[in-house]
Structure formats: structure tokens, C-alpha cells
Amino acid sequence: MELTRRDAAAALAALGASGGVALGARVAADRGRDAGGDSGGDGTGDDAPADDETVRETLTAVAAVVYPDDATGVEEFVDGFLDGRLDGSAHAAGVREAVAELNRLARSWHGGAVADLDPAVRDRHLREVGADIADEDPDGTTAERVRYYVVNELLLAFYASPTGGELVGIENPQGHPGGAESYRRGPR
Amino acid sequence: MSAGDGPAGSAGNAAAVDRTPVADADVCVVGAGPAGALVADRLAGDREVVILDAGPRFDPADRLARQERAIRPSYGRPDVWDVGGARDAYENAGSTEWDYPLNHARVKGVGGSTLHWQGMVMRLHEDDFNSGAERGAGPDWPIDYADLRPYYAEAERELGVAGASDNPYAPPREEPHPMPAFEPSHSDSLFAEACEAVGIDMHSVPNARNSEAYDGRSACVGYGTCQPVCPSGAKYDATVHVERAEDAGATVIDRAPVERLDHDGDDRVTAAVYATPDGETHRQEADAFVVAAGGVETPRLLLLSASDRYPDGLANASGAVGRFFMDHLFAGAGGTLDEPTRQNHVGFYTSACDQFYDEADETQAPFKLEFFNYAGPSPVESALTGDDWGDPLLERLRGEYGNHVAMGALVEQLPDADSRITLADDRTDDRGNPIPEIDWTVGDRALDTIERANEIQVEVLEELGADVEWVAGPDATGPAYHHMGTTRMSDDPDRGVVDADCRTHDLENCWIASSSVFPTSGAMNPTLTIAALALRVGDDVAGWLGDRT
């Protein structure tokens, strides 16, 4: 099952690319965060939010764990999705911070950034962080924020896309503007 | 705005907006929901109209982010449209078993609760206007279906209603709906066979949602999150008429909660006193006032406006302000089949059954049946919970999704003077005004009718071959978030707050446009009737103003 740019675009259409960028940037600036996108660190500093490249590498690596095994085209899908999500909003800032935290813990516990870990170790790391049993919360603990900004960010994009939905049996999943015809059709 | 931005994300640049009163206003409308919007649109252009709303003007560009909030588990329903906090504080009386989740049931802001409604728009039946005479239960309305019929037709055009004339139980209509009905769903076709076998008629259901492009808005594109947010604008919401009123010259002042209505010694309202985000208080004067703040805030405002002349609250000589609080009761049942049912592609339903509605009498309430297109879990929402990912998650989702079916029903509750909205004794909102206290009660007629609806639902589901897994009966029922009855309409000033024209008995220049004027509720979703009454109020206000000039 191949994820495509179309799926990434569909996920963005469902979840929003840059809606309210100006407002988001203002909120981020109010919080003293870097809303610029490219000028952040690589997540290796104590508090530095992750830069674009680090976010893309990390989320692609996490996607390889949280997406079904036979999903292909994951890197392109995540890239395309993040093209819209990594704007100047408070949400994007939250993603950068959660990625930086996840990588900091990975270095401390496993000796390398998430993207450099073996997939089995990556899976274990996410569970050690607590992201598997945590309820997502953008303002919560590390586990809750990793669940919100990393794990669920990816699962939301995937299962709101036509390809992800179709794997479950629904080609027009909630959040995807797939038209008002599919509900009338019987199973194929 | 992003999904994670806090409630302040809606505030915009509050300080830059002029929220001072408008000079020489003819009409002041309190509330920018569907009733207020339609009244304002009716009068703007010919008259100087001001609309005050307690909530913000939401940015349409934020709707996808609000949709994300609707899907993500960390946000509750009130979070989607920033409801809650000190502005929206309320409490239940605690003396009954019927707690009312008010902040799940409303949106404050331009568009009001149509921002989160599902968009179902039926006319009340003829007997609903004569419940006392025809059913032996509750009061009659001082108007009949015939009085509202042309306004219903106009309301359907204004909102944009997709419907068909295949419902043999619907009240008479003189013209088709503005748009064709949405086609039945795949699961409707499954239900149809079972319903035929047990002698139950299915028919289409009117939706305030575009089945084709209409009024400059697109056809439904199937986001599937109608309730609580439609990102495409295919579902009607009252921003349509607020914007139209503004284009015609009306002024909208958002984030301006009205704290009281002032009056003179001649039983006329003189000003709406409202607060603004900068902490200032202003007086909006006008010749006529239309209160359109819904079934809870409308009586609250009248009670907050108590004065020496009106110690029990404005327009409350009858003592009925806040009393007779009603909602529709939900009854439902659902289960699973051994075949795909194709649920959760859209967020609205396409078939219903009004067959039992007019069987209502003293002991059985009117009720209608609904055949859901959204039974069982939505995979994307389900994916965001649980402790699994990868292949195990996919397997779980496949196991959960695909073969659910469900039916719903709405049931009328009778008006009861003890079911009421009052002002809390010792709690205030962010402006220091007493918050609403809800004392909601439901009588046996409604509870018995819920059981009757359940019997039919289970019969249909069993005929369908479903494994019935849940039944929402009298012990599990809840409100449909339709606030009604709290400023009831009556020809008798001792028995009602407004007259047949929805003008208050006590104050000659004050009207109420809201489901709060319903003397009885029927069992049909109220918004089309709210809209029809609002258009009628608009005409009455225009006539009254015209007579004065």
C-alpha cells in the first residue's frame, strides 16, 4: 500500500496547512518561541526546538514504527504533510519542542537520535517515554506531548488520508473532503 | 490558528475593533445566532440595525483547525468553539437527577449554535401547535401551522434546505424544497428491507446542507464532521445572514455581552447595556429591541434586568420567565451486522420515520425515528487512542469499524413550570453577573415514550439481523441540545411572556426571537421553526417601526 503526495495533500486538506499563520506566529512570538522554522537548533541543545530537517527525519523515523508495515512512500508522505504543518503556528512550535525532547531522551537513553536508532529500539524508546499509554495533551507531560505532537500527529495524517482510511475500509475518512457520494455506495 | 492554540486564539486583535454604540439605531438585536441574524437581515438596509453578541467573530480560516479539535481526543466538544471558562459558567440545581451539560449545547459568537449544529430542519406538525386540544397534553400555541407555513417556506429558502416530498407524514407544503434531498445511504438500503418487513415507512429527511451549490456556498464535500464543524460552509450557519445584514448596513459588535436591558417609565426598553473586552461598559440605545440569545441566556438577561419597576425581572409579570425549560430526549439503539454498513463517511443522516409522530396523546409523546450514517467508531478518532500502533493498531481499527448500525429518536417533553432557569444565588461570571442555574426535569410521558421508541428500534434492528449491543432508554437518555420554552408564547399575559407576535406582553418595543418562545416543543429539531418565527418577528418589528414614522 503506497502513500502518495496526493495522500499528503489530502491530509493537509483535512487538517489545515497554514490556516491562521499570522495569528499562530503571533501566539508563538508571545510565548518567546522561534516561529521562523529554519533557525532553530537540531534538538541537541538543552531547550532548543528542533529545526525542520530534524523534525522531518524524526517524524519519518517514528512513522516507520507507528504506520502499518506494508505502508510505502512514508518519507514522501511525511515530507509533504510537514510542508504545510511546519508553519509559524504554536502547533508547529509544539512539534519542534516535542521532537527535540524525544531526541534528547533518545541520546541519553540509547546513545543516538531517534532517526539513528534501530526500528525496534525506536519503538521501545517511544514506549519508554510513555507515548503508547499516554493520552495526548498539547500542554501535558513529555509523554502526553510526544503522543500529541509526534505519534498522533502522524496517525492523524495517515488515517485521515484516503489511503490510510481505505486500509481500514473507509475511503472517505472523517476529516477528508472526499465528496458526498461514497456513503451511498455498497462495499466493493 | 492551529489546533493547539488556546481559546485566546479566537480573540483576534480585540483592542483595534470599534465596539462603541451606534448612534440613532432603530433596532438592537441581542445575539448573532440564527434568530438574531435572520431578524437583522430582514431589517437591515431599511433600518439602522445593531447586533450585539457575547462571543467573538470567528475567523473562517480557522475551521480546519477547529475540525482537528473535533477529531483529536484531547479536546472536548466545548473546546471546538472556545466555549467555557468564566464567561460561560453555569450550574445545575443539584436537586434533580437531570444534570444539563449546557456548554456542550451552545456556541457563543457570530453564528451562534448553528456553528456546531447538525443541520436537520423539519417543520413542526400541525398538531404540535394544538397539543392541548388535539393531544390533551400541554398548552396550545396562540398561532397555528397555517400562520407559520409561508414563513417555513421562506426559512427553507433562506437557510438552503435539501429535501424531498416523499414523507407522507409531513405537514402540507406548497412548494418543493430549494434543493433535492441527499440520496439514501448504503445503510439506509439495508434498513429499508427490515422496515418494510415490520411495516415501518422510511423517507428522506430535510437537511440545511447543500446537496448542490446554493447561495454562493458549495455542495457538501463530505468532511464528515458536520457536528461540530463544517469546514466547507456547505452546512448552513448563521454567519450567512450576519454577513448579509452587514453588507446591507447593519453593525455587528462582537465580544459584547449584554448585561441588562434598561427601560423607562412607559414600559419601553431604552438601552442594552453591554461590556467590551477593554473593560468598558456601553449603552446601545434603539427604538426596538429583539432578544435572540437562546433558551438559557434570553431568560437570564430578562432576570438580570430586574428593576424597581420590575422586581422579578423584565417582561416577567406572568412569572413565566425561565420556567418551562424543555429539551428533546434522545432514544437510541444499535449493534452490528455480519456485513459492511459503510458508516462515518458523512456526519448527517439521510432517512427518517415520522410514522408514529401523530399517534401522540396524553400518555404518549410525539417522537421521530432516525437512521444513522455514523454508527460505531470513526477510525481516525479511534486511531488516536489506545496503546497500540503499527500493524496491531490497523488490525484493531479493522475489527472495530465496518459493520455497525444504529437508530436514534427524538422525543417531546412536556412543559413543566418547575423545570426552569434561574439566577444562581452566589456565583457570578467574568463580569460579576449571576450565572444561570439549570433545574431540568423530565416527566413520565417522555420517559414512557422513550421506551416505546426503543421497542420499535430493537424490532427493526432484530429484523435486520443485527446483534443489538446497546439501547439508550429512559435511564441513559440525554438532551438533544435544543433549549426551549423559557419565555413561552401565550395570548394571555398571565400565562406567557410574549404574545402571538413574539412581542413581550409587558414592554411594547421588545421582541424575543428564539425557541424560548415555544409553548410546547414537538419532537422536531427546532431551528427551522426558530428561523420561521424570526422572519415573522422581523416583519412585525418592521410594521411597528413603520407605524411610528
* B9 chain-A contacts, CB cut-off 8 A: 20, 23, 27
* Predicted local distance difference test score (pLDDT) of residue B14: 56
Query: CB distance from A186 to chain B under 8 Å?
Result: yes
Radius of gyration for the alpha carbons in chain A, expressed in angstroms and rounded: 17
* Predicted local distance difference test score (pLDDT) of residue B95: 75
Average pLDDT, chain B: 96
Whether A40 is covered by a domain: the verdict is: yes
SS3 at position B233: coil
Closest CA to B54 of B306, B316, B245, B304: B304
Contact (Cβ atoms closer than 8 angstroms) between residue B143 and residue B151: no
Closest CA to B168 of B112, B125, B117: B125
> Are B71 and A169 inside 8 Å of each other by CB?
no
Q: Hey, where are the domains in chain B?
A: 1-161+229-324+416-442+483-549, 166-205+329-411+443-476
Distance of CA B60 to the CA centre of its chain: 21
For residue B418, is pLDDT > 70?
yes
For residue B2, is pLDDT > 70?
no
For residue B76, is pLDDT > 60?
yes
* A19 chain-B contacts, CB cut-off 8 A: 1-2, 61-65
* B71 chain-A contacts, CB cut-off 8 A: 156, 160, 174-175
* Predicted local distance difference test score (pLDDT) of residue A38: 38
Supply B399's cell numbers. 475489527
Kind and range of the H or E run holding A99? helix A90-110
* Predicted local distance difference test score (pLDDT) of residue A28: 39
Whether A105 is covered by a domain: the verdict is: yes
SS3 at position B345: coil
Residue of A nearest to B1 (CA): A20
For residue A9, is pLDDT > 90?
no
Query: CB distance from A43 to chain B under 8 Å?
Result: no
* Predicted local distance difference test score (pLDDT) of residue A158: 96
> Given this structure, which CATH class describes domain B166-205+329-411+443-476?
alpha beta
Query: CB distance from A66 to chain B under 8 Å?
Result: yes
Q: Which amino acid is at A64?
A: A
Closest CA to B211 of B112, B346, B113: B346
For residue B374, is pLDDT > 50?
yes
Q: B432 vs B275, B291, B385, CA distance in Å? A: 11, 21, 40
Kind and range of the H or E run holding A89? none
Task: For residue B466, give how far its alpha carbon lies from the nearest alpha carbon of chain A (Å).
Answer: 18
For residue A17, is pLDDT > 80?
no
Query: What is the arithmetic mean of pLDDT over B207-232?
Result: 97
Helix-strand-coil split of chain B, %, nearest 5: 30, 20, 50
B1-161+229-324+416-442+483-549 homologous superfamily: FAD/NAD(P)-binding domain (3.50.50.60)
* Predicted local distance difference test score (pLDDT) of residue B549: 73
For residue A20, is pLDDT > 60?
no
What pLDDT, in 10s, does the model give residues B32-57? 999 999 999 999 999 999 999 999 99
Query: What is the arithmetic mean of pLDDT over B166-174?
Result: 96
Query: What is the arithmetic mean of pLDDT over B326-345?
Result: 98
* A87 chain-B contacts, CB cut-off 8 A: 2
Average pLDDT, chain A: 84
Query: What is the arithmetic mean of pLDDT over A30-58?
Result: 63
Question: DSSP label at A132?
Answer: T
Name B258's bridge partners. Answer: B274
Q: Give the C-alpha separation, B135 to A29, whole Å.
A: 63
Local confidence band at B97 (pLDDT 50, 70, 90 cut-offs):
confident
Query: What is the arithmetic mean of pLDDT over B239-250?
Result: 98
Q: Give the C-alpha separation, B298 to B497, whole Å.
A: 12
Whether A179 is covered by a domain: the verdict is: no
* A182 chain-B contacts, CB cut-off 8 A: 222, 342, 345
Suggest the residue from B185, B389, B404 to mutate for an interface test with chain A (most A CBs closer than 10 A). Answer: B389
Name B370's bridge partners. Answer: B352, B408
- B146 or B15: whose pLDDT is higher? B146
Average the pLDDT over each of A15-24, B86-95, B98-107, B494-503 and give the range with the smallest value.
Answer: A15-24
* Predicted local distance difference test score (pLDDT) of residue A87: 81
Torsion sign across C-alpha atoms B528, B166, B213, B215: negative
Name A50's bridge partners. Answer: A41
Number of independent structural domains in chain A: 1
Radius of gyration for the alpha carbons in chain B, expressed in angstroms and rounded: 23
* Predicted local distance difference test score (pLDDT) of residue B343: 97
Residue of A nearest to B212 (CA): A180
Whether A27 is covered by a domain: the verdict is: yes
Local confidence band at B1 (pLDDT 50, 70, 90 cut-offs):
low
Q: What percent of chain B has pLDDT over 70?
A: 97
> Are B189 and A172 inside 8 Å of each other by CB?
no
Residue of A nearest to B398 (CA): A168
> Are A15 and B68 inside 8 Å of each other by CB?
yes
Local confidence band at B13 (pLDDT 50, 70, 90 cut-offs):
low
Query: What is the arithmetic mean of pLDDT over B419-444?
Result: 97
Q: Report the b/e string of A20-51 with b at 16+ CB within 10 A.
A: bbebbbbbbeeeebbbeeeebbbbeeeebbbb
Query: What is the arithmetic mean of pLDDT over A79-107?
Result: 93
Residue of B nearest to A25 (CA): B1
Query: CB distance from B231 to chain A under 8 Å?
Result: yes
For residue A33, is pLDDT > 50?
no
Whether A64 is covered by a domain: the verdict is: yes
Contact (Cβ atoms closer than 8 angstroms) between residue B258 and residue B32: no
Local confidence band at A84 (pLDDT 50, 70, 90 cut-offs):
confident
Range of the domain at A21: 5-168
Contact (Cβ atoms closer than 8 angstroms) between residue B365 and residue B328: no
Q: Give the C-alpha separation, B81 to B43, whole Å.
A: 28
